[in-house]
Amino acid sequence: MKAFPRKFRTRFLVFLFPLAVFVLAGTQQAFAAARAPKHSVTNQYHGVSAIDDYQWLEKSDDPAVKRWTQAQSKEARATLDKIQVRPWVEEPLQRLPKTPSTNY
């Protein structure tokens, strides 16, 4: 069995590292505190009832959705800015889209 190309392994690790940082930094607790409120809606699909607690978030022009989204963005930014290794992770991630992919 062939090993993955080095470039693929590097890209995979670049994406895996931020995930590990978030888990190790305990950011799960920070995001758990700001869950979206539930507004249950029942829809019928081919005779089957499906309850969607978050369908209200699909209406992006709703003022309540805009407020919730802004609060989420503010909380996320505050949490992400606390990560000390962020600049170290951010630089390779910004380079990634500019790097041409290997042609197989």
Contact status, residue 8 vs residue 18, Cβ threshold 8 Å: no
Q: Which residues, other chains included, contact 61 with Cβ-Cβ below 8 Å and sequence gap of 6+?
A: none
Cβ(10)–Cβ(2) under 8 Å?
no
Strands, E assignment, 1-104: 41-45, 48-52
Top-confidence residue, 97 or 41: 41
pLDDT for 52 equals 94
How far apart are the C-alpha atoms of 33 and 75, rounded to whole Å?
10
pTM for the whole structure: 0.53
pLDDT recorded at residue 1: 45
Average confidence score pLDDT of the chain = 80
**Cα–Cα distance measured from residue 20 to residue 24, given in angstroms and rounded to the nearest whole number:** 6
For residue 27, what pLDDT is reported? 52
pLDDT(59) > 90: yes
* First-last CA distance in the chain: 17
What value does the CA radius of gyration of the chain take, rounded to a whole number of Å? 20
pLDDT band of 97, cuts 50, 70, 90: confident
Q: Where are the domains of the chain?
A: 6-98
